[in-house]
Each structure stands twice: as structure tokens, then as C-alpha cells.
């Protein structure tokens, strides 16, 4: 028996295994921490028969352990990640099985006719891995730092008395917020995976909102601080307005087509291909761009992002900058590429190109002026959104073909490796947050003296973000730019320099703009490197121990290095290429 069939079998239970695991995890998360010795006395007079019903009462020592929620969530995410990974690895031998789920819960071959709402292919599997991987790292990072109040912190150095130490740690961790956090993370994961799978705008919107709502709460999770609730509420209000506009756009598409499925004979793509751009549909699509533009924090919908990032805790901000943004791009690619690319000349190309140019430039210039590293990373994340949007614009200019697939590969690769270095950088900030700092550049002074390993990790993250070889950020940026360039050099003609310059497509200048922007971005990335290695630290304490957080940082560092150069980069690039093929099929 081929093991691959275990994960790609013909029924819902197996092909949606990662999602089932997440759902199971959520249920377990609600039940397990509440298990106790609650009993119910049978109302029979004269007897005292007590029937245990387990929910409530005094909790058992296992279920009362404050680390259980995080453990359950981590196990769930890990299992989900591994399932998605195995289904890809084992499946590659028997050919990529594409399976679609219809509205009434049947699993079909995707080529067969029918209204499909979910689609399992290389693309959605890779995205599931990105989402669950990023959330898993964030959860691990939160493992030993979730203070009951901002005044309780992880002890900086071990105390003599181990019992006292343990008791202190338990007092710190023993609060019900553990469950809330882990539960919200799992819900975000489920929502994101739904987005990755959906081929129906309604399902896509439901997944988007599930993830968004949970992430609004996660941002405001540090409710005792001043910045936390403000950030959460701001992000919530702006986000729900954007979602409402997006929903309005979806309704317009529904009026236009009468069906919200993207693919298939009655789908939006077929209708778009048959009738061409229609006023109603174009407006609807434009409105959806607002919703997704907010998710990827593209200019001019980016204003809430820096506040949200700086108000949220480090790992949560990292998730916002990686997984949440990847979700926005999945939605964007499904809609833009899925619906409109069937008709070659895409109207939105120039618009997306202009947004991309403004986004990357604005993000970089704003990042130059921010002294708070978290805001700086938020703006750099805006700039990265611009790079990816430039890739999408080039896909639009190019139409379906090999070049487009290369750009889509690059986007997928970029979203995957972004998890390593962007999230990693936020985790280093999280480590500084353990001592209540990290929100000013001065707090990074002399980090190399205080903790060389963390400083070198941060250096690697910064250089990777700037796109310095041989790190992962370089390879992803190179693939992106090479895709864009490939789309333009093919039809350059002319024997003189001026003729050749004239015949270059405008998309080529987007590639040059990416180069110029990555040069600008070096200023603020290098600033952090310089203060870490050059300036004197203002305190000589070691950084917090926080072992799990350090493990997460090290995983990110290794990822940023190995995905940049060598065999693993190749593996990831091929996976991204498969995903791109699946996206275009």
C-alpha cells in the first residue's frame, strides 16, 4: 500500500487532515483545561451517589497545569504541519493529487464539473505549511513568556531555591489567559488554512474573517498595557471597514455572476473569460482589493499596521507580518490570478503596479524615520508587500505562461522564507520584551556584548531582510526580480541603446525600483546591526533565559541560512514551483 494514499485518499477525512487536526485541537483546547473532578449528586434521597461529569470542579494536576494549553496547541499545529508536509512528500511519487470538495461535501476530481468550494493541491498544502509553521514558531516563542500582568516577568536569573523558583514561575503562568491565547492561535490557523483551500469567494471570506477576528484579539492581548488595546481596536476598526468593503465587492460579483465559485463552468473565471471585464465586476474586484490590500498592508491601507505591530507582543506582530500577510496574498492571487488571468489583458495591472511602486517606496522611506524597531519592521513589511505586489503586477502584464509561473514561484518562496527572517526578527524583539524593553533603538545598543548569539541571529535576519547574499532573503528577492526581468527582456529589440531602453516594458523599471528600494532599506537594517555591534550597552545583564523563545529564534536563523544557498533552498524552490503550477492550472 502506498503511504501517500493515506493523506490524499478520496474522502474528506483524509484530504482535509490538517484542518481536522486543527479543529480537533480547538475542541481539545476548550475541553481539556476544564477537566476536573466535578461530580453530580444523584437527587435520590438517602443516597450519596455522585456521578463525575468532569467538566469543572477542582482541576486535576495534569489538566490544571498552566502549560497544557500551549502544549496542546503546539502539538496540534505541529501535527497539522507534518500532515501537510507528509501529504506533499509522499504524494510526489504518485503524482500530485488534486482533490476538490463540492458544496455538498463530496470529494471530486477537480476537472469534473461541479461547484467546488475547497481545493487541495500543492498550492494550498504549501500555504498550510507556511501558516501552521509560522504560528507554531510564534506559539513556541510565547511558551514561557505570557505574563499575568506586565509587571510579572520571567525571572532574569535562576534563583537558588528551586521550589521557590518553580512556584514563582507557576504563579506567573497560572492564569486562564494561556487557554485564550492558544485557542486564538488555533483559530487563526484554521481560518488561514480555510483561505488557502477555498476556491469560493464566500468560503474565502469566512476563512479570512475567522483569522482576522482572532488576530484582532491577539493584537490587543496585552490588555494591561496602554498600547495593546489601542492597537487592537485601531486594527479592528480599520480591518472591519476594509472587510465590509470587500464583502460589498463580493456581493457585486455575486450579482454579476450568480455564483461565487472561482473555477468551473459557472465560475467567475469562466464568466470573466467569456464576457470580458464588466463595469460591475471591475468595481467589485476593486473593492475586494481594498480588503486584501489591508491584509497585506499595501499603501494606502497600511496606516493601522505600524500601530498594530508596535502594540502587539513580538510573536503576534511576527505572525501579522508573515502568516497574516501571506493569507492576504493568497486571497489576492486567488482572485486576481484565478479570476482575471483567463482574460489576458488584465485591467488591474497598471493599478497594481502603481500601488506596488508607491507601497515599496513609502514603506522604506517611512522606515528610515522610525526609531522604534517594531515600527521599523512594520514599515519594512509594508515595503516587502510592495515587492510582492510588483511581482503580481508583472504576472498581470505577462499573462499566463512560464514567466508568470516563475514569478508566482518567487512569491511563494518569498512568503515561505519570510517566516524565517521576519518572524525571527520579531522574536528577537520578543526576547527584549521579556525585560520590558525593545521598543527603542537604544535598547539594542551593545546587544553583541550582552548576547552574541542573539545579536548574530538578528544580524542574519536584518541582512536577509535587506537581501544580502547568501541568505534566504536574497534568493527570494532574486527570484522575484528575475521573474519580472524575464517578463520584459524577451521582447526587447532595437540595435541601439536608446531603442532598447524605449522598448523595455514598464515592468522592467519596477524591477529596477525594487533594487533601488533594497538599497534604501539597507540604511535602516544596517542601523540596527551597527548599534548592536558598535555602541556600548547601557546595562550589562544577560538577556532573559526564555529557552523556548531562544529555540524558536535559532530555528528561524537556521532557516534564513539554509534556505538561501544549497540543497534545502532547492527543495523549497521546487515545492514553490509545484505550488505555482497548481495555482495556474
How far is the C-alpha of 475 from the C-alpha of 477, rounded, in Å?
A: 5
Integer angstrom CA distances of residue 442 from 228, 394, 426, 445, 528:
22, 40, 16, 5, 10
Burial class (CB in 10 A: 0-12, 13-18, 19+), 86: middle
Site for other proteins contains 499 (CB under 8 A): yes
Is the bond preceding 344 in cis, omega lying within 30 degrees of 0?
no
Which residue lies nearer to other proteins by CB, 212 or 405?
Answer: 405
Closest approach of other proteins to the CB of residue 462, in Å? 12
Residue with smaller CB distance to other proteins, 309 or 461: 461
Spatial CA neighbour of 262 closest among 340, 343, 339: 339
Taking CB under 8 A as the binding criterion, the range among 117-125, 204-212, 350-358, 568-576 that sits at the site for other proteins is 568-576
Asked if 522 touches other proteins (CB under 8 A), the answer is yes
159 lines the binding site for other proteins (CB under 8 A): no
H-type helices in 490-535, by residue range? Answer: 497-503, 506-534
Question: Which set of grid coordinates corresponds to residue 163?
Answer: 521550589
Site map (CB under 8 A) of other proteins, residues 267-306, x = contact: ----------------------------------------
Q: Using the rule CB under 8 A, which residue among 111, 149, 226, 574 binds other proteins?
A: 574
When binding is defined by CB under 8 A, the residue of 63, 482, 505, 585 that contacts other proteins is: 482
| Residue 506 touches other proteins, criterion: CB under 8 A | no
Candidate segments 128-136, 246-254, 341-349, 487-495, binder of other proteins by CB under 8 A: 487-495
Tell me if 495 contacts other proteins by CB under 8 A. yes
Q: Which stretch binds other proteins (CB under 8 A): 26-34, 171-179, 420-428, 499-507?
A: 499-507
Among 223, 519, 538, 541, binds other proteins (CB under 8 A): 519
Output 267 or 473, the one with its CB closest to other proteins.
473
DSSP 217-255: HHHTT-TTSSHHHHHHHHHHHHHHHHHHHHHHHHHHHHH
**Residue 526 binds to other proteins (criterion: CB under 8 A):** yes
The pattern of x and - marking residues 456 through 475 that bind other proteins according to CB under 8 A reads -------x----xxx---xx
Q: Give backbone dihedrals phi and psi of 471, rounded to 5 degrees, phi first.
A: -90, 170
Total count of residues recorded for the chain: 585
Task: Give the nearest distance from C-beta 409 to other proteins in angstroms.
Answer: 6
Alpha carbon of residue 365 to chain centroid: 24
Among 500, 506, 542, 547, interactor with other proteins by CB under 8 A:
500
Which stretch in 198-206, 330-338, 542-550, 571-579 sits in contact with other proteins by CB under 8 A?
A: 571-579
By CB under 8 A, is residue 510 in contact with other proteins?
no
In the complex, the smallest distance separating the C-beta of residue 319 from other proteins, rounded to whole angstroms, is 28
Q: Which of 401, 534, 542, 547 binds other proteins (CB under 8 A)?
A: 534
Residue 515 interacting with other proteins (CB under 8 A): yes
Question: Of 69-77, 203-211, 343-351, 516-524, which segment contacts other proteins by CB under 8 A?
Answer: 516-524
256 within 8 A of 248, measured Cβ to Cβ: no
In the complex with other proteins, the residue whose CB is nearer, 296 or 513, is 513
> According to CB under 8 A, which one of 52, 105, 436, 452 is a site residue for other proteins?
452
Specify the residue for cell string 521599523: 376
**DSSP SS3 for 61:** coil
3-state SS class at 158: coil
- Under a CB-based contact definition with an 8 Å cutoff, are residues 480 and 391 in contact? yes
Say which residues have a Cβ less than 8 Å from residue 295's Cβ, sequence separation at least 6. 208, 212, 242, 324, 325, 327, 328, 331
Nearest distance from residue 95's CB to other proteins, in Å?
17
Check residue 569 for interaction with other proteins (CB under 8 A). Answer: yes
Q: How far is the CB of 480 from other proteins (least distance, A)?
A: 11
Cell, residue 122:
500543492
Instruction: State which residue, 449 or 545, has the beta carbon closest to other proteins.
Output: 449
By CB atoms closer than 10 A (0-12, 13-18, 19+), residue 148 is: middle
Cis peptide leading into 300, omega within 30 of 0? yes
Side-chain half-sphere exposure of 46, counting CA atoms within 13 A? 0
**In the complex, what is the shortest distance from the CB of residue 583 to other proteins, in angstroms, rounded to a whole number?**
14
Torsion of CA 563, 566, 568, 569, to 10 degrees: 50
- Binders of other proteins in range 381-440 (CB under 8 A): 402, 405-406, 409
CA dihedral 261, 267, 268, 272 (to 10 degrees): 170
Nearer to other proteins (CB atom), residue 48 or residue 493: 493
Interface ranges with other proteins (CB under 8 A): 402, 405-406, 409, 452-453, 463, 468-470, 474-475, 478-479, 481-482, 485-486, 489-490, 492-501, 503-504, 511-512, 515-516, 518-519, 522-523, 526-527, 530, 533-534, 565-566, 569-570, 573-574, 577
Amino acid at each position: 500500500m502506498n503511504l501517500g494514499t493515506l493523506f490524499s485518499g478520496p474522502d474528506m477525512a483524509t484530504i482535509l487532515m490538517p484542518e481536522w487536526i486543527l479543529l480537533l485541537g480547538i475542541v481539545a483546547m476548550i475541553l481539556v483545561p476544564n477537566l476536573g473532578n466535578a461530580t453530580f449528586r444523584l437527587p435520590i434521597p438517602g443516597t450519596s451517589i455522585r456521578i463525575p461529569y468532569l467538566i469543572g470542579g477542582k482541576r486535576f494536576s495534569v489538566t490544571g497545569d498552566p502549560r497544557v494549553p500551549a502544549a496542546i496547541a503546539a502539538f496540534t499545529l505541529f501535527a497539522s504541519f507534518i500532515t501537510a508536509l507528509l501529504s506533499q512528500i509522499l504524494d510526489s511519487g504518485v503524482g500530485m493529487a488534486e482533490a476538490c470538495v463540492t458544496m455538498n461535501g463530496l470529494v471530486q476530481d477537480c476537472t469534473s464539473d461541479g461547484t467546488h468550494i475547497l481545493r487541495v493541491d500543492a498550492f494550498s498544502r504549501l500555504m498550510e505549511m507556511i501558516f501552521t509553521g509560522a504560528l507554531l514558531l510564534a506559539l513556541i516563542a510565547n511558551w514561557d513568556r505570557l505574563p499575568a500582568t506586565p509587571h510579572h516577568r520571567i525571572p532574569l536569573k535562576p534563583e537558588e531555591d528551586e521550589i521557590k523558583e518553580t512556584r514563582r514561575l507557576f504563579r506567573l503562568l497560572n492564569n486562564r489567559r494561556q487557554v485564550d491565547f492558544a485557542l486564538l492561535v488555533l483559530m487563526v490557523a484554521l481560518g488561514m488554512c480555510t483561505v488557502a483551500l477555498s476556491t469560493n469567494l464566500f468560503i474565502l471570506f469566512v476563512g479570512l474573517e475567522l483569522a482576522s477576528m482572532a488576530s484582532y484579539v491577539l493584537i490587543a492581548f496585552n490588555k494591561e498595557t496602554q498600547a495593546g488595546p489601542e492597537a487592537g481596536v485601531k486594527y479592528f476598526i480599520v480591518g472591519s471597514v476594509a472587510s465590509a468593503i470587500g464583502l460589498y465587492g463580493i456581493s457585486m460579483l455575486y450579482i454579476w455572476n450568480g455564483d461565487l465559485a472561482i473555477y468551473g463552468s459557472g465560475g467567475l473565471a469562466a464568466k470573466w473569460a467569456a464576457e470580458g471585464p464588466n463595469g460591475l465586476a471591475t468595481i467589485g474586484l476593486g473593492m475586494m482589493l481594498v480588503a486584501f490590500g489591508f491584509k497585506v498592508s499595501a499603501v494606502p491601507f497600511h496606516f493601522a499596521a505600524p500601530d498594530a505591530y508596535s502594540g502587539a507582543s513580538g510573536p503576534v506582530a511576527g505572525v501579522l507580518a508573515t502568516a497574516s500577510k501571506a493569507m492576504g496574498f493568497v486571497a489576492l492571487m486567488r482572485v486576481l490570478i484565478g479570476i482575471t488571468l483567463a482574460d489576458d489583458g488584465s485591467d488591474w495591472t497598471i493599478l497594481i503596479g502603481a500601488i506596488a511602486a508607491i507601497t515599496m517606496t513609502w514603506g522604506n522611506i517611512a522606515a528610515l524615520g522610525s526609531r522604534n524597531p517594531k515600527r521599523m519592521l512594520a514599515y519594512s513589511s509594508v515595503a516587502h508587500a510592495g515587492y510582492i505586489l510588483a511581482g503580481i503586477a508583472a504576472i498581470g502584464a505577462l499573462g499566463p505562461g512560464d514567466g508568470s509561473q516563475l514569478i508566482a514561484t518567487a512569491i511563494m518562496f518569498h512568503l515561505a522564507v519570510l517566516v524565517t527572517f521576519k518572524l525571527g526578527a520579531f522574536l528577537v524583539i520578543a526576547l527584549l520584551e521579556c525585560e520590558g524593553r525593545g521598543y527603542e533603538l537604544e535598547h539594542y545598543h551593545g546587544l553583541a556584548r550582552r548576547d552574541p548569539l542573539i545579536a548574530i541571529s538578528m544580524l542574519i535576519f536584518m541582512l536577509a531582510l535587506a537581501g544580502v547574499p547568501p541568505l534566504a532573503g536574497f534568493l527570494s528577492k532574486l527570484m522575484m526580480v528575475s521573474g519580472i526581468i524575464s517578463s520584459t527582456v524577451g521582447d526587447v529589440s532595437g540595435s541601439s541603446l536608446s531603442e532598447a531602453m524605449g522598448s523595455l516594458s514598464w515592468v522592467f523599471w519596477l524591477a529596477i525600483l525594487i533594487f533601488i528600494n533594497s538599497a534604501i532599506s539597507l540604511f535602516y537594517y544596517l542601523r540596527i546591526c551597527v548599534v548592536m555591534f558598535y555602541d556600548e550597552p547601557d546595562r550589562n545583564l544577560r538577556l532573559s533565559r526564555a529557552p523556548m523563545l531562544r529555540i524558536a529564534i535559532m530555528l528561524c536563523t537556521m532557516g534564513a541560512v539554509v534556505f538561501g544557498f544549497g540543497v534545502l533552498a532547492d527543495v523549497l524552490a521546487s515545492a514553490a514551483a509545484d505550488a505555482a503550477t497548481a495555482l495556474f492550472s
